[in-house]
């Protein structure tokens, strides 16, 4: 499937309580819907962006073999060195046309999801706080949040949950609070 060979990236700006912004570099694997928060900074520079690309390729080392395309916009922080990091891994860089949000729709959608489910409900104080919120949310997104394209499985799930044979047998449904209760996760227990 072609979607399994695509990874997309985009910048996300986060409003702080002191009316400043921080920026996060977000990557999304199309096939698995796995979310990667590459980094957060107050001043994204081209060199910072290249370093985040290197960090991501090191993190995805084994998994990189299945990726063939990187979809990105024409932001000035993406310089030739950024593209070279991916091209050295045999990943072709595809640039979107100027200003069409639908050409990188999956990544734009996950950024909207990040905002709706987490960032819009939390007052974020600084870069460290925003990094914490994004990391916690990424763990939830990859480990627990269902995705329609994956038959309601989260990105890290290998097999669907099998229903219990005897419905009369009681079982627990413990709740885990994420981000101070902003998000709740549930798991069946025997």
Alpha carbon of residue 177 to chain centroid: 20
For the domain that residue 121 is a member of, what is the CATH number? 3.30.420.10
Go through 96-135 and write b for each residue having 16 or more CB atoms within 10 A of its CB, e for each that does not: beeeeeebbebbbebbeebeebbbeebebeebebbbebbe
pLDDT tens digits, 75-84: 889 999 999 9
pLDDT tens digits, 114-172: 999 999 999 999 999 999 999 999 999 898 777 676 666 777 777 665 555 555 666 67
Q: What is the pLDDT of residue 18?
A: 94
> Strand, coil or helix: what is 116?
helix
Q: Please tell me the total count of domains within the chain.
A: 1
Question: Which is it for strands 175-178 and 183-186: parallel, antiparallel or unpaired?
Answer: antiparallel
Confidence of residue 31 (pLDDT cuts 50, 70, 90): confident
Residue 105 lies in a domain: yes
Residue 182 lies in a domain: no
Residue 9 sits in which domain range?
A: 2-159
Q: Is residue 139 classed exposed, middle or buried when 0-12, 13-18 and 19+ CB atoms within 10 A define those classes? A: middle
Residue 90 lies in a domain: yes
pTM for the model: 0.85
Cβ contacts of 18 within 8 Å, gap of 6 or more = 125
């Amino acid at each position: 499937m072609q979607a399994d060979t695509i990874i997309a990236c985009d910048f996300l700006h986060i409003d702080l309580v002191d009316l400043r912004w921080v920026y996060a570099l977000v990557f999304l694997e199309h096939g698995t819907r796995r979310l990667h928060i590459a980094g957060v900074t107050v001043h994204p520079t081209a060199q910072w962006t290249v370093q985040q690309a290197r960090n991501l390729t090191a993190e995805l080392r084994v998994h990189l073999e299945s990726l063939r395309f990187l979809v990105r916009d024409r932001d000035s922080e993406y310089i030739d060195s950024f593209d070279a990091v991916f091209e050295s891994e045999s990943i072709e860089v595809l640039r979107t046309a100027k200003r069409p949000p639908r050409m990188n729709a999956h990544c734009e959608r996950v950024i909207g999801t990040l905002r709706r489910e987490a960032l819009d409900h939390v007052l974020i104080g600084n870069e460290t706080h925003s990094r914490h919120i994004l990391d916690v949310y990424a763990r939830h997104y990859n480990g627990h949040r269902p995705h329609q394209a994956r038959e309601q499985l989260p990105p890290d799930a290998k097999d669907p949950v099998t229903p219990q044979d005897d419905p009369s047998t009681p079982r627990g449904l413990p709740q885990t609070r994420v981000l101070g209760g902003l998000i709740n996760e549930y798991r069946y227990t025997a």
